[in-house]
Amino acid sequence: MSIGPEEQLARQILDLATLTGWRVFRVENSTRLVRRRSGAMVRARNVNIGGVGFPDLVLVHEKQRRLLFRELKADGKYPEPDQREWMRVLLALGADCDVWRPKDWPRIESTLTGALRSVVAFPLKGDCA
């Protein structure tokens, strides 16, 4: 079973973040089997309804005093409306919130290694609009 570009990106980010001193919380789109009243077994998303669309990663670096919220997308893909709404609210509150894609790897690497400590992230191409 092959993994998709978002999962591959997530694994690369988690590896680098761990090596560079970041603490990471990852929101996973897990599913589970549940039995309906009819007795039928169905797959249900194991997600808190209020949390639908929350960014995929929350990264914290205590020494750098940084908190990042990141949505991961494949190249050419854009956040869904629920994701854009979470990002809009986080940005309105002054949070460092952005979308990362595989093509952004140089920027991701610079961010996680501390080279871009003073950069403020702004949404690109209407990601958060």
On whether the CB atoms of residues 99 and 79 are closer than 8 A, the answer is yes
Q: What percent of the chain lies above the pLDDT cut of 90?
A: 59
> What is the DSSP-derived secondary structure letter of residue 122?
-
Delineate the domains of the chain, giving CATH numbers in brackets.
5-113 (3.40.1350.10)
pLDDT at 117 over 80: no
Long-range contacts of 85-91 (CB under 8 A, 24+ apart): 85/53, 86/53, 86/54, 86/55, 87/55, 87/123, 87/127, 87/128, 88/128, 88/129, 90/55, 91/123, 91/128
pLDDT of 35 reads: 72
pLDDT for residue 128: 57
**CA atoms of 121 and 99, how far apart (whole Å):** 9
Report the share of the chain in percent with pLDDT over 70.
Answer: 74
pLDDT of res. 33: 60
Average pLDDT over residues 63-92: 95
Residue-level pLDDT at 43: 61
Q: What tokens does 97 get?
A: 């919130």
Query: Is 60 exceeded by the pLDDT of residue 30?
Result: no
Tell me: pLDDT of 20 over 70: yes
Q: Which two tokens stand for residue 90?
A: 């986080």
pLDDT at 31 over 80: no
Q: What is the mean pLDDT of residues 36-65?
A: 79
